[in-house]
Amino acid sequence: MTKLLILGANGQIAKLVVPMLANTLTEIKLTSLHGRPDKNIKSLDATNENTLAQALKDIDIVYANIGAEGRQKVVANSVVNAMHTAGVKRLIWIATIGVYDELPDKTRDIWSNVLGTVNNENTYIGDQAAAVARIEASQLDYTIIRPNELLDDNVMQQLNIQTERHEKIVGNPVTRTSVAEFITKLILNPTDYIKQSVALSEK
């Protein structure tokens, strides 16, 4: 049985992944900064390395879907250090497109005005990029997932999967349901996409 720790279990995508893993040989531990006892979600501050390392006991896979805006690099550093301490290797980390400055030319300036730039860690995209760089510099068996603009439609799409980090993003906005399905398949097939950064969009 695979033992999975979800960081950020209150997130919209994580909430879709959990039922998709039902009836599989996966034991799930749900955590979030703000616990939800009614949903079996335990409180856990992912920036606290010691507490996180304790939560990682006997865990096989960490799925981090943390919306820690302004603290992504701090959280990434804590997650990497705690996983090394606990001897856990497999990490699935949800980032965003744009962390390699790979947005199409026609939209780059628009998004830069809204989200900032990769070389400024004080901006949203810069913090995301710094977090990704920290994970890639680790010895973990990571997969970084970079969804295109997200949609709430409950639709399974055919996905365009890009694994070249600096390749310009092609395709259309992607549904959270489609992203959740991709993550679920990855949890069930954990040797796929190791040490790769995967951009997802609709074909």
pTM: 0.95
Among 60, 6, 59, 53, smallest CA distance to 30 is for 6
Q: Number of C-alpha atoms within 13 angstroms, CB side, residue 137? A: 10
Site of tokens 């804590």: 78
The β-bridge partners of 41 are 30, 36
Domain ranges of the chain: 2-202
2-202 sits in which CATH class? Answer: alpha beta
pLDDT computed for residue 176 by the predictor: 97
pLDDT computed for residue 105 by the predictor: 82
The residue-averaged pLDDT of 95-114 equals 87
